Amino acid sequence: MSRNEQRHGFNEDSETLALLRSPPSEAALAWASESVGAVVDRWEVLRGGMSSAMYVVAFSGEPPVELVLRCYVRADLNREEPDLAVRESAALRAASAAEIPTPELVAVDPMGERVGVPALLMTRLAGRVVWDPTGVDGWLQRLAEVLPAVHAVESGHEPVGVYENYAQESYAPPKWATKTAIWERAAEVFHGPILDEVRCFIHRDYHPGNVLWKRGHVTGVVDWQSACIGPPSVDIGHCRANFLGYAPELADRFTGFAEEALGTQFHPWADIAALIGMLDGLRYRPPRLAGREAIEAAVEHAVAALTRP
């Protein structure tokens, strides 16, 4: 597993990762070709997806066209969430109104009748993912300044869904925890009411791996499958959770920029929602020592903030 995959939250076994990096099926390429009305010239696997296989597909023509094909190949997720492609297509339509570049939906096979698995075809955005910027504070600030554009989206009648915490197989503290009582209290909060009462359109999976850059500027935001109506602090909390795991010193700095950009305070409940919502991965494939310490400190801080008289 590469370093970037560890940062990106990859907690899957080798068999699942191999499935996510497998070639596209002939049925998927035929459907994509028919949807565009052009012959597929070539394709390549995009590394990055956890819930689906992602490909860049190039089509013949003048000028040639490159699109992104997403195939939901994981049978376990399709059983749990059979409407993933439906929700993502709705989210893409809603996000198209944002004042930031987002992929445009080209075609969807919502139940996999043509492809064999649910699939989407969408436009490809320019830019690349940046994990190691040269100017960290400028990068964090611009990363934070994307959020107001996301949260201002009016989803209208699009069935984007409503925020729910990510369920886990177990809510037992990870073996590396040094303050198990704190983790147990956090799990209780996680199962309680959503304490951030504000609601808006959120990305739900916002972190550096889903933001594209070119020459220091954001060129787009991708991976909208989890977008929904929910608390704005969730987007900050999810990004914080990624930072806490691999670069703990960036989490609070990003939060400060996000609070300034949004004009609101980060709700500590969102740290619990994000980190307890990652418990399975934290338990089976823990981060390095600095990340473990930062994550436990964040859980402790959030519990204390939410239980003060």
Q: Domain limits at 169?
A: 129-307
Domain boundary among 98, 124, 150: 124
Residues 65 and 141 in one domain: no
Place of tokens 């956090």: 186
- Look at residue 198 in the predicted model and tell me its pLDDT: 94
Q: Give the CATH number, domain containing residue 264.
A: 3.90.1200.10
Total number of residues shown for the chain: 309
Residues 158 and 263 in one domain: yes
Residues 58 and 143 in one domain: no
- Look at residue 81 in the predicted model and tell me its pLDDT: 87
Q: Give the CATH number, domain containing residue 15.
A: 3.30.200.20
Q: What's at 255, amino acid-wise?
A: T
**Distance between CA atoms of 147 and 140, rounded to whole angstroms?**
12
Q: Which of helix, strand or coil describes residue 124?
A: coil
Residues 36 and 135 in one domain: no
Q: What is the largest CA-CA distance in the chain?
A: 67
Local structure of residue 63 (DSSP, 8 states): S
- Burial status of residue 263 (CB atoms within 10 A of its CB: 0-12, 13-18, 19 or more): exposed
Residues 157 and 206 in one domain: yes
Residues 189 and 235 in one domain: yes
Domain boundary among 85, 101, 124: 124
Give just the sign of the alpha carbon dihedral 60, 38, 123, 242. negative
Residues 66 and 185 in one domain: no
Residues 134 and 104 in one domain: no
Domain boundary among 94, 124, 154: 124
pLDDT 10s digits, 155-170: 888 989 999 999 999 9
Above 70 in pLDDT, residue 7? Answer: no
pLDDT 10s digits, 164-206: 999 999 999 999 999 999 999 999 999 999 999 999 999 999 9
In the chain, the percentage of residues whose pLDDT exceeds 90 is: 83
- Residue 62's pLDDT band, with cuts at 50, 70 and 90, is confident
Tokens of 11: 């907690």
Residues 201 and 244 in one domain: yes
Query: How many structural domains are present in the chain?
Result: 2
Residues 203 and 101 in one domain: no
Residues 161 and 104 in one domain: no
Q: What's at 175, amino acid-wise?
A: K
Residues 81 and 133 in one domain: no
Interhelix angle for 233-246 vs 289-307, to 10°? 150
pLDDT, the chain, mean: 93
Q: Name the pTM for this structure.
A: 0.92
